[in-house]
Structure 1
Amino acid sequence: MISELKILTGKRESVTYLKECYCTRPFKVANVREERQDPVLRLMMMSSSPGMLDNDHYRLHITVTAGTSLHLQTQAYQRLFNMQTGARQEMEVQLQPGSTFTFLPHPMVPHERATYSGYTNLHLAENCRLTWGEIITCGRKLNGEVFLFTKLHSITQVFAGKQLLLRDNLLMEPGTTRFQAMGWMEGYTHQATFLFFDTHENAPMVETADRFQRYLAEQPRMLAGVTRTSGNGILVRILGHSGEQLMECQQQLAKLLTV
């Protein structure tokens, strides 16, 4: 089933509002902003489905217009159920000049024999700030489903105009990949990717990367690395043992951006 979600922001004085929204089943969008004068639009992406089923195809398109700020969150873990063919998600995000976008969704949980492909394109203009994350679990760990899914392929690309700044290509195939080998999971079961881009001139990326490094070095039972990218970007890769652990870590990294 093809399901679509489209979001367009607008600005009224200094406050961002939801100018246009279109969604088909199973998507719903809720405004969870607590203070009416909060300049940031805070939306929750909800779903009436328990998770992605075989042959599901999600198409998400988000436009954050000039000078607006959007914080998009999810309702719950994204479950990927048993599949024969597979499920697919395509996400396109357009950040116009002077905009800010934050998206740190709940972890994905691939069940036994799940197959998933995800394609995310993030387009930046000048004077933008992007905070984006992805967490992938080994499966239903407490049920004994550790790396029993069939295939999980996630491609994330970041552009400034037509210039490609980053391409993260993650392919996990338990039938052929030795996850405990060096250079892979090395005993960990969950992984997170955290991206931060700031296209403002003279953005303090060195200081931000150092702040990330200091915080991550203090976290127990995790392994993390911080990498500077082209186009004023930072990529953080984190390995851990639970989705909640990595979610909390990503939230804390986001808070460090406001220090």
Structure 2
Amino acid sequence: MICSLAVKIAHREGKSFMKDAYVTQPFRIVPVGQYQKDNAAYLMIMSSSPGLLDGDDHQIKIDIAPGAKLQLQTQAYQRLFHMKGHSSQKMQVTLGEDSVFSYVPHPVVPQNSSHFLSHNIIHLASNCHLLLSEIVTCGRKMSGEEFQYDHFQNLTECYVNGRLVVKDNVLLQPDRMPIQGLGILEGYTHQGTLIYLNSAGLSPDEWIEAFYEKYGETKDVAFGISALQHDGFMVRVLGYGAEQLYLLFKEMQSALWEKLFLN
């Protein structure tokens, strides 16, 4: 089933707000920032479906007007159910000049025989900030379904003024690769990726040092952070629990949002 969500964020008199939205079942999009004081738009993607089923195709499109700021949230963990074929999701985000987009979704739980393809395409104009993350678990570990999914792939492409500056491809196929071997998960069960990118010419060095000092020795977590060729950084984390990695990313989001995005 093809499921669509399209949102336009506008900016007027110093405030960001949802100007227009179009959704089909099972999507809903709701404002959740009524108690926030920063004049940014806070939206939550909700779904009446328990997760992605065989043949599902999610199409998400977000347009952010110049000067607008959006923090997008999710309702719950994203579950990928048993599939004979595959499911997919494509998210396209366009940031106007001087805008901000931050999205730290809940972890993905790929169940037995699931096959999932995800593609994120982000276009940044000048003086923009982007924060984007994803966490994939080993599956329903407590139900004995550890690494029993078939295929998980998340491709992210980030463009600045039409030029590709970041391309990241996470591909996990437990039955075709030594999933817990050297250079892959190395004994861990969960993997997370976080990308921060700006087109404002701001060096990420201070944030790289601060985050490594704070999280580099986190218990039961392998934490790595490196500078991108363009202005930004990428974080890779390995761990044993989805909630631990999710809360770590949310802390990083809060630090950036408070000190940088809304400066």
The Cα shift of 1:221 comes to 0.6
State the one-letter code of the partner of 1:28: R
Structure 2 alignment gaps of length 5 or more? none
Deviation digits for residues 140-171 of structure 1, max 9, x if unmatched? 11111110001111111111122111111111
Aligned partners of 2:106 and 2:249: how far apart in 1?
10
* Superposition map of 1:101-140 within 5 A: 101-140=101-140
> Are 2:231 and 1:224 aligned?
no
Report if aligned partners of 1:41, 1:69 keep a CA contact under 8 Å in 2: yes
- Matched residue count: 258
Report if aligned partners of 1:31, 1:44 keep a CA contact under 8 Å in 2: yes
Q: Flag as ranges the 4+ runs of structure 1 deviating above 3 A.
A: none
SS at match of 1:118: strand
1:248 is matched with which residue? Answer: 247
Segment drifting more, 226-235 vs 50-59: 226-235
SS at match of 1:10: strand
* Superposition map of 1:9-24 within 5 A: 9-24=9-24
Query: Percent same amino acid among aligned pairs?
Result: 36
The Cα shift of 1:37 comes to 5.3
Report if aligned partners of 1:211, 1:256 keep a CA contact under 8 Å in 2: no
2:77 is matched with which residue? Answer: 77
Deviation digits for residues 26-85 of structure 1, max 9, x if unmatched? 000111013375411000000000000000000000011100000000000000000001
Report the RMSD for the aligned CA atoms in angstroms: 1.1
Report if aligned partners of 2:216, 2:224 keep a CA contact under 8 Å in 1: no
SS at match of 2:85: coil
Aligned partners of 1:233 and 1:125: how far apart in 2?
15
Aligned partners of 1:67 and 1:162: how far apart in 2?
19
Aligned partners of 1:137 and 1:144: how far apart in 2?
13
Deviation digits for residues 223-251 of structure 1, max 9, x if unmatched? 01111112202100000111101101101
Report if aligned partners of 1:61, 1:92 keep a CA contact under 8 Å in 2: yes
Distance 1:192 1:36, change over 3 A: closer
Segment drifting more, 155-164 vs 51-60: 155-164
Deviation digits for residues 206-226 of structure 1, max 9, x if unmatched? 111111111122311100111
Report if aligned partners of 2:41, 2:71 keep a CA contact under 8 Å in 1: yes
Report if aligned partners of 1:40, 1:71 keep a CA contact under 8 Å in 2: yes
1:188 is matched with which residue? Answer: 188
> Are 2:257 and 1:238 aligned?
no
Structure 1 alignment gaps of length 5 or more? none
Aligned partners of 2:179 and 2:150: how far apart in 1?
13
TM-score under structure 2 normalisation?
Answer: 0.95
Distance 1:221 1:36, change over 3 A: closer
2:57 is matched with which residue? Answer: 57
State the one-letter code of the partner of 1:26: P
Aligned partners of 1:4 and 1:240: how far apart in 2?
33
Aligned partners of 1:230 and 1:125: how far apart in 2?
17
State the one-letter code of the partner of 2:31: N
